[in-house]
Amino acid sequence: MMREHQFTINEQTYTLRFTFNAIVELEENLKMPITKLVSEDNFGIKEMRAILWAGLRSRHKLSLEEVGNLIDDYDGTLEELLSKAIELITKALKV
């Protein structure tokens, strides 16, 4: 079962990977339980950036602002990337 997703921005490869600690950091950053977040139909921009930040942290030490800058340069759809992130979170939690 694949627990990572790679994507490229400006010829650099990034890896989304949701460890247990990354999920805890995401909850702390957003001040909401992950179960509420993954059950929501819509995310705000703040939540989108935080989800990607948490998923990138295990492989890339980026700040929230740096992740926002990456999103600006991403050529794919943000919806597609977030869908993959939620899928990975669900697999990490085995829910």
Question: Average pLDDT over the chain, rounded to whole?
Answer: 89
Q: Which pLDDT does position 42 carry in this prediction?
A: 65
Whether the per-residue pLDDT at 43 is higher than 50: the answer is: yes
Which pairs with CB-CB distance under 8 Å and at least 24 residues apart come from 35-39?
Answer: 35/95, 38/86, 38/89, 38/90, 38/95
What confidence score (pLDDT) does residue 44 get?
87
The tokens for 40 are 């929501």
List pLDDT tens digits, range 51-90. Answer: 999 999 989 999 999 999 999 999 988 889 999 999 999 8
> What pTM did the predictor assign?
0.89
